[in-house]
Amino acid sequence: MADIDLNNMSLDDLKKLQKTVNKAVDGYQDKQRKEALAAADAAARERGFTLTELTGGPGAKKTKAVSPPKYRHPENPEQTWTGRGRQPDWMKDALENGQSKEEFLIA
């Protein structure tokens, strides 16, 4: 590595050198990051996956957990409610008429 006498440099020269060094550091880090990414991608492909599938990055398929229904309408069994979110109208009506949620629990 070349020895640079920083003490004899002007402020403008020091700032230019600083910018040059910062660009060199950023370029080196980018190169290392790309090489690491390529190696990880190759390892994932060897095992039949994509890197996105393994890391859950953008584009990965995300499955949303589905809550099973907890309550069922007594007259129309197709109407159910998980107990989360907004109460369905049939549940609101039943509660207003003095019934309790427990009456609608799915066994």
Query: pLDDT tens for residues 8-56?
Result: 999 999 999 999 999 999 999 999 999 999 999 999 999 998 888 888 7
- List the alpha helices (DSSP H) in 1-107: 11-46, 51-55, 89-96
Residue 27 has φ and ψ, to the nearest 5°, of: -60, -40
Distance CA 103, CA 107 (A): 10
- What pLDDT, on the 0 to 100 scale, is given for residue 100? 92
Average predicted confidence (pLDDT) for the chain: 90
Q: What is the pTM of this model?
A: 0.46
- What pLDDT, on the 0 to 100 scale, is given for residue 59? 63
Q: Between the CA of residue 8 and those of 3, 15, 97, what are the distances in Å? A: 12, 13, 90
- What pLDDT, on the 0 to 100 scale, is given for residue 64? 76
